[in-house]
Amino acid sequence: MPLNKEQIAKRIAQELEDGFYVNLGIGIPTLVANYIPKGVNVVLQSENGLLGMGPFPFEGEEDADMINAGKQTITTLPGSALFDSAMSFGMIRAGKVDLTVLGAMEVADNGDIANWKIPGKMVKGMGGAMDLVAAAKNIIVAMQHTDKAGNSKLLPQCSLPITGLKCVKKVVSDLGVFDVTPNGFVCIEYAPGVTIEEIKAKTAGMLTIADDVKEMVF
């Protein structure tokens, strides 16, 4: 059975290593914070200007001055640091943030990503997405494998306007885990109950099944 959003987040959380600085995008990526493995300490970065993002505040303790990049009220933690938006993207560009997790509309088998604009629809802007995908040293995409009509979102090339080139390192979809390699997508795990045949059928981009492919374990 394909993963739900929480399961996608939970699987991505397994990629976190102790001591990582991590930027979590809006949507499924935000949920990753709920599944950080025990004993793994990570520091969450919010690109509007915070290292050490804490949980939502208790009711009544919200502070309009303390929000994350999704404009949600949040808190700090002991050891947090605040800074301006130039330093925030500066540390990402300089490779100091170990991992960025974000959503996508499309990913190509060379790592290109499209996630900011649909021609013909109102364009809201790229926000920090173009900076993050261009500059982050390790990018995992959390996404649905297909659109509502069943069309693959893992493609030979993006059909939507590009957000960044050759930047995605790994995709965790509702169907499995895919490394992005010089040979395209390599399926290294499949969701419990999902077949390799289904993954093949629903992946339009170049796809290889890893020799040691295995069922995902939570």
Partner 1 sequence: MNKVVANAEEAIKDIESGATLMLGGFGLCGIPENCITAIVKKGINNLTCISNNAGVDDFGIGLMLQTKQVKKMISSYVGENAEFERQLLSGELEVELIPQGTLATRCMASGYGMPAVYLLAGVGTEVANGKETRNFNGKDYLMEYAFDADFAIVKAWKGDTMGNLIFKDTARNFNPLMAMAGKITIAEVEELVQPGDLDPNFIHTPGVYVHRIFQGVNYEKRIEQRTTRKPQA
State the nearest-atom distance from the C-beta of 211 to partner 1, in Å.
31
Q: Cβ(155)–Cβ(205) under 8 Å?
A: yes
Query: In sequence order, what are the residues at sequence separation of 6 or more whose Cβ sits closer than 8 angstroms to the Cβ of residue 24?
Result: 30, 32, 33, 44, 100, 101, 102
The residues facing 154 across adjacent strands are 107
* Residue 70, helix vs strand vs coil: coil
State the nearest-atom distance from the C-beta of 169 to partner 1, in Å.
16
Between 60 and 150, name the residue whose CB sits nearer to partner 1: 60
Between 5 and 200, name the residue whose CB sits nearer to partner 1: 5
Q: Rounded CA gap, 139 and 171, in Å?
A: 9
Q: Rg of the Cα trace of the chain?
A: 17
Catalytic residue ranges: 47
CA distances from 97 to 69, 91, 101, 113, 189 (A): 16, 7, 11, 19, 26
State the nearest-atom distance from the C-beta of 138 to partner 1, in Å.
14
Between 12 and 43, name the residue whose CB sits nearer to partner 1: 43
Between 157 and 195, name the residue whose CB sits nearer to partner 1: 157
Q: Rounded CA gap, 160 and 185, in Å?
A: 19
